[in-house]
Amino acid sequence: MRRLLPILLTTLLSSHLSAQEEKKDPKDSKGAAVKADDKKEEKKDEKKDEKADKKSETEHSITLGGQKIDYTATAGTLALKDAEGKTTADIFYIAYTKKGVTDAGARPLTFSFNGGPGSSSVWMHMGLLGPKRVKLRDDGFAVPPPYQLVENESCLLDETDLVFIDPVSTGLSRAAKPEDAKNFHGLNEDARSIGEFIRLYVTKHSRWPSPKFLIGESYGTTRAAALSGELLETHRMNLNGIMLVSTVLNFQTIWGGDGNDLPHVLYLPSFAATAWYHKKLPADLQQKTLPEVLAEAEKFASGEYNRALLFGAALPAPQRAPIVKQMARLTGLSEAFVDAANLRVSLGRFNAELLRDQRLVVGRFDSRYTSTVRDPLGNNAERDPSADAIFSAFASTFHHYLRNDLKFEDDRPYNILASVGKWNWSAENHFADVSETLAESMTTNPFLKVHVSSGYFDMATPYFASRYTFNHLVMHPDLTKNITHDDYTAGHMMYLNQPDLKKQKTDLAKFIRAAAVQK
């Protein structure tokens, strides 16, 4: 279709110019007929633009904590419009609302989205929050196809109504004109469109009085922080709480490269956790608990290692040698490898090197996962086994669930992960950073609470990087009491691990209850 697009546009343009030439001749009866047809087409376009949002409503029930909850599931689209009332995009969403609620204004309402950029909302929907979840092994590892859904006993519907949002180009959300999709693909552009969706949803469903929450994962945490400012400044909508799952607000903390040593410092504890899990540490460290290993790795990373990187090439050889030795000890890598990498081991190289002797690569989203490799001499990880293990399971089960359980029929492909092209980061000559937006939102609205979920084996958004970001928020110290951190023993999608899922349900439910009713 992309190859045909230039041809189609050229054809349409030529037809339009021909029609304009015909209209210039008032004596041409054919020209008059064209003008009349144009008016008819304009009316058709207006009627088409005024079409009702497409949706399907179904009734269901779930038992949570011994309590039966009846709920309505709504799968549909909501049109975003410009100042002239013309549709610019249709946003696809799935909402779950508890039935029998006498005062909807007292019922919390949570908007959920994932990251990417370019990801649909399916991951937290079918893994953490929604009434159905993808069945995997209890430790979160893959099962063979075909895949199935089971009732999610950790669903949050007993605490809050839920709305899962697919940003433009993901899921079934589309720009009205394909060529205009780029207008939604950017940090600020994305926040504006999702903010407008939230305003419309809250307005159409009379939920302005409800305690309102956002929950985002990965880039979704970036979106949530940006939305805290967008909703406040554009719509004067204050939030009760924001839940951040696998957080990245300041991209300087995870994107390394020439001149930016910060990620090397912040990734090192995650390297240590991974080496400990795969039993690649020296015997004395291997016998310690994971928290003990992490404490030692954090101390080294923020102390001696950080100072060594600060010196750069000026680091004296006698001081360099013990740094190489300790870094190798904490990461499971050889001293020769650490030395050759100039103390700066990238994520891709670490994942490829740690288990090279077994011809295995470790995961990025979850470093507990491993996979065989085709090229045992590769310098970087050739794949992410933690992505390979789950993507198909989520895609297969969701497609079936949407049509068969939610009764939403649409033959277009549901973009689980979409290619959104070049993303506008609005960050020339610096890294994208929305931590300042979050700090400003928390200052303006001192009742705003923030919950942060981090996985020890997350190598996409490492937990120590998240800690760094929140330790550097520029705001009054008294506001730090509004931030809650909870850690988990899996990776980026920690909820795939059953013990973590149960803990996270308890943690988030406690957070919502406290943030919804404040004294």
Do 233 and 317 have their domain in common?
A: no
Task: Please report how the helices 219-235 and 435-444 are oriented relative to each other, as an axis angle in degrees rounded to 10.
Answer: 40
Alpha helix (H) ranges present in 367-497?
Answer: 385-388, 391-404, 435-444, 463-471
Domain that holds residue 244: 55-252+392-516
59 located within any domain:
yes
DSSP structure class, residue 107: S
Do 346 and 320 have their domain in common?
A: yes
- DSSP 3-state assignment of 15? helix
Given a contact cutoff of 8 angstroms between Cβ atoms, the answer to whether 309 and 343 are in contact is: yes
22 located within any domain:
no
Q: Between the CA atoms of 319, 353, 119 and 483, what dihedral angle is there, to the nearest 10 degrees?
A: -40
Radius of gyration of the chain measured on its C-alpha atoms: 26
Do 181 and 289 have their domain in common?
A: no
Q: Which amino acid, one-letter code, is at 475?
A: M
Q: DSSP per residue over 168-208, as a string?
A: TTSBT-EESSGGGGGGG-BHHHHHHHHHHHHHHHHHHTT-T
User: Residue 345 — φ and ψ, nearest 5°?
Assistant: -95, 120
Query: What does the alpha-carbon distance between residue 44 and residue 394 come to, in Å, rounded to a whole number?
Result: 39
Residues 6+ apart with CB under 8 A from 217: 113, 114, 115, 123, 124, 245, 246, 492, 493
Q: Which amino acid, one-letter code, is at 22?
A: E
Tokens 């069945």, located at residue = 135
Do 66 and 209 have their domain in common?
A: yes
Do 190 and 65 have their domain in common?
A: yes
Do 109 and 158 have their domain in common?
A: yes
462 located within any domain:
yes
Q: Which helix (H) or strand (E) holds 293?
A: helix 290-300
Work out how many domains the chain is built from and give that number.
2
112 located within any domain:
yes
- DSSP 3-state assignment of 21? helix
Do 396 and 510 have their domain in common?
A: yes
Tokens 């006698």, located at residue = 318
502 located within any domain:
yes
Tokens for 139, please give them: 């430790």
Q: Which of 385, 419, 446 is the last residue of a domain?
A: 385
Residues 6+ apart with CB under 8 A from 482: 442, 446, 448, 449, 450
16 located within any domain:
no
Q: Which of 385, 402, 429 is the last residue of a domain?
A: 385
Closest CA to 360 of 378, 346, 341: 378
Mean pLDDT (10-residue bins), the chain, 519 residues: 36 38 39 46 51 89 96 98 95 97 94 96 98 95 94 98 98 96 96 98 97 98 98 97 98 87 98 98 98 98 97 95 98 98 96 97 97 92 94 96 96 94 87 96 98 98 98 97 98 98 98 90
Q: Which of 385, 418, 447 is the last residue of a domain?
A: 385
CA dist 178 → 1, 131, 182, 190, 289 (Å)? 11, 33, 9, 16, 53
How, if at all, do strands 212-218 and 174-175 pair?
unpaired
Given a contact cutoff of 8 angstroms between Cβ atoms, the answer to whether 459 and 491 are in contact is: yes
CA 484 to chain centre: 19
Tokens for 42, please give them: 């304009």
Tokens for 384, please give them: 């992410």
244 located within any domain:
yes
- The angle subtended at Cα 39 by Cα 36 and Cα 41, nearest 5°, is 110
- DSSP 3-state assignment of 212? strand
Do 247 and 107 have their domain in common?
A: yes
Do 159 and 126 have their domain in common?
A: yes
Strand partners, 133: 150
Domain holding 473: CATH number? Answer: 3.40.50.1820
213 located within any domain:
yes
User: Residue 372 — φ and ψ, nearest 5°?
Assistant: -70, 155
- DSSP 3-state assignment of 216? strand
483: number of Cβ within 10 Å = 17
Query: What does the alpha-carbon distance between residue 131 and residue 160 come to, in Å, rounded to a whole number?
Result: 12
Do 166 and 211 have their domain in common?
A: yes
* Burial of residue 402 (number of CB atoms within 10 Å: 0-12, 13-18, 19+): buried
Do 398 and 376 have their domain in common?
A: no
What pLDDT was estimated at residue 103? 92
Query: What does the alpha-carbon distance between residue 158 and residue 268 come to, in Å, rounded to a whole number?
Result: 39
What pLDDT was estimated at residue 18? 39
Q: Which amino acid, one-letter code, is at 514?
A: A
Do 429 and 480 have their domain in common?
A: yes
Query: What does the alpha-carbon distance between residue 246 and residue 240 come to, in Å, rounded to a whole number?
Result: 20
Query: What does the alpha-carbon distance between residue 12 and residue 21 come to, in Å, rounded to a whole number?
Result: 14
